[in-house]
Structure formats: C-alpha cells, structure tokens
Amino acid sequence: MPIRIRTRHRRPGGLTGTAALIGACALALAGCGDGGDASAKADGTPAAATTTATATPSSRPTPEASPTPSAVTMSDQTGAVLGSAIAVADGKGLDYAVYLQGTGLSLAGGGKQASSYGPGEEVCEQVDDPADTNPSFDVAFTVPREGRDCAGRPLHTPTPTPTKTRANGTGGTSGGGGTSAGGTGACELTSPAGNCYADGQFCAGKHRGLSTHGRGGEYLTCASDSDGRWRWSDGVPG
C-alpha cells in the first residue's frame, strides 16, 4: 500500500516574522526622541552647563584703629605754693621735678634742678610735658633762686649788725647778744603793729619769702611750716 508523505510549509506568521517585527521596533525606538539630543549625542559635544560665579567673602576681619590715649594734664600752679603744686601732680600720677627760676628750664633739657626746696616756696613757672618730650618729668616747677624773687630781683638784704671798736682796737660787738628792737634799725621788717618779729611768729602776707633780723638779733625768714602756715623761722628746729 503506498505511503502518503505530508510536507509542512512554514507560515509567514511564525518565529521569523516575530523576530523581524522586534528588530523593526528596536530601530524605531533608536530613532525616537528629541532631535536636538540626538544631534548632540551624534556630535559627541556635551551640553554647556551655565554656572553663576559667587564672590567668596574674606574671612580676615578688618583691623580696628587703636584709640589714642589722652594726655594727663593739670591746672597751672604758677603763683601757688610748691607743696600744693606737688600734691596736685601726685594726685594726677605725674612725675614732677623742681628747677631754679631763671636757669633756662626747657623741654629740650635746659635748666638747673633745685638741690633743696621747701613746700612753702612760690611756684614761679610750670612747664608741662604731655608729649613726653623730656624723659625726666611730666611736669616741672621752678622756684626762686636763693636771695631772689621769681622775677630774679634780689630780695631785701638786712643791714649788718653794727659793731663797736673796743679800747684795745680789736673789733667786736657790744653786749653778748644781737641788737634788739630799740630804734637801731636792726629790724628791717616789722609787723603791722610796728614791732620786730620773733622766731615762730606769724608773718604778714606781704613778707612771705622775705628775711629780716628778729627782736633778739636772730636772722629770720618767712616760710611755710608743715601745716602750710607762714611763720618766721631762724632755720633751727624747735
């Protein structure tokens, strides 16, 4: 009996057609999208990124100007007594120096310092040094030179006690003590009542700083004591 052989024919809708369809879709997808992006990808040129430059503030602080210290000053003590002028300078914390009047005191270094002085002496002049030009002082006071006033004029010089000649021709004073107030002219300065001064007695304001012989013949000077009172003194304590 003859054998029938069946021949199978592939249908167009099989695997081959499916593969072709997938490939077509892949090609279609590759061509899809923004034309600009595709062109940029094709050229290999990346899109330029826009950046905004921001200034970076400096971290270093601006230095502040140092304040200028104010100079310490004091009121003019010219005409006052030296003791009070020194007290004012000490109260201000100022270094002071005392010079003799009329010796050329200046900030450049002139002048002669007083080797000794009393608190009751008059201040003839005050020189301030706020700029610290002279390293020796912040303020300087001048006092009269010995035997002179602030203007440089000589003070009154007492007349020497008169002497008598003894019979043998030798010189000497009569009597054991000095000449007393007896109209001999030994008391060059007198009190407002007309009497010769004595050691320790208060002196008149017009006689401050002057000298005279006292009622006992002693040489007295009107000076300020430790309490600031003007008295006649022979310079001997007690």
- pLDDT tens digits for range 76-129: 999 999 999 999 999 999 999 999 998 899 999 889 999 989 999 999 999 999
Cβ contacts of 143 within 8 Å, gap of 6 or more:
82, 98, 99, 100, 101, 114, 117, 121, 122, 123, 124
Residue 92 near residue 74, CB atoms below 8 Å:
yes
d(CA 104, CA 142): 10
pTM of this structure:
0.41
Average pLDDT over residues 136-160: 82
- pLDDT tens digits for range 14-31: 445 555 555 555 555 555
Q: What is the DSSP letter of 230?
A: E
Residue 35 has pLDDT above 60, yes or no: no
User: Within 13 A of 187's CA, how many CA atoms are on the CB side?
Assistant: 17
DSSP codes of every residue in 92-149: HT--EEEEETTS---TTS-S-B-S---TTSB--EEEE-TT--STT-SEEEEEPPTTB-
Helix (H/G/I), strand (E/B), else coil: 212: strand
3-state percent breakdown (helix, strand, coil) of the chain, nearest 5: 15, 15, 65
Helix (H/G/I), strand (E/B), else coil: 19: helix
| Conformation bin of residue 37: beta by default, left when phi > 0, alpha when psi is -120 to 50 | alpha
pLDDT of residue 182: 40
Residue 176 near residue 164, CB atoms below 8 Å:
no
